């Protein structure tokens, strides 16, 4: 009787175990979630590339190439020098004076240093006077002033045959000699006592291949 009871219990234990194993086998397999898988950081490759020798230098060269917008072959050409032109100068003279003062001498020195003068072109000097005095006296005064300017240029090395002297006297004033009330216009007279100098460019030599005019 006792053995039968133990045999029944053993059968129930075995049956229960078998049922449990069957239920476990029947359950569906659970796959690991996508988030459970190890993910590679998105910037892992970038970090690795940053440590590769030579990448920094290559990146710097690319940046410099982008910044360079002017190529050597299209660099701007230097500004051409404008062509030379005639030089004109007005030198004031003191009252009743036939020689230039210190200011006039400084202006003549500036003319001597001008590159156009060294080209060898013709020079014209006009002498002027104010209206104080007779026409003949003013004409003589204007000639003396023009000759004084000529002599100074010659002393500085300018060839005398390049220079032409013309006496104008009081005939071509650039300011009034008298005011409307008949009194002397001192400022106007100072402007009229002057020497005007013009240095022209050398005349081009005629082409030898051209036939002479008939």
pLDDT in tens, 179-214: 999 999 999 999 999 999 999 999 875 554 555 565
In angstroms, rounded to a whole number, what is the distance separating the alpha carbons of residues 126 and 33? 109
The model carries a pTM of 0.60
| 148-to-11, 19, 200 alpha-carbon distances in Å | 153, 142, 20
Which CATH superfamily, name and number, covers 87-199? Answer: OmpA-like domain (3.30.1330.60)
pLDDT in tens, 139-179: 999 999 999 999 999 999 999 999 999 999 999 999 999 99
In angstroms, rounded to a whole number, what is the distance separating the alpha carbons of residues 98 and 114? 24
């Amino acid at each position: 009787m006792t053995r039968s009871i133990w045999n029944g219990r053993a059968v129930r234990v075995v049956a229960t175990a078998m049922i449990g194993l069957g239920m476990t086998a029947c359950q569906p397999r659970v796959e690991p979630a996508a988030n459970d898988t190890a993910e590679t950081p998105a910037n892992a490759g970038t970090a690795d590339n940053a440590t590769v020798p030579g990448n920094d230098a290559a990146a710097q060269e690319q940046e410099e190439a982008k910044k360079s917008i002017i190529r050597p072959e299209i660099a701007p050409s230097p500004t051409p020098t404008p062509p030379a032109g005639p030089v004109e100068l007005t030198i004031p003279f003191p009252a009743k004076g036939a020689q230039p003062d210190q200011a006039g001498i400084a202006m003549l020195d500036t003319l001597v240093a001008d590159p156009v003068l060294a080209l060898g072109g013709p020079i014209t000097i006009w002498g002027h006077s104010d209206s104080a005095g007779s026409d003949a006296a003013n004409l003589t005064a204007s000639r003396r002033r023009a000759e004084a300017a000529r002599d100074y240029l010659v002393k500085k090395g300018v060839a005398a045959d390049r220079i032409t002297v013309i006496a104008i006297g009081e005939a071509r004033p650039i300011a009034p000699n008298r005011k409307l009330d008949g009194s002397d216009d001192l400022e106007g007279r100072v402007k009229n006592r002057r020497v005007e100098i013009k240095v022209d460019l050398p005349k081009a030599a005629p082409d030898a291949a051209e036939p002479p005019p008939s």
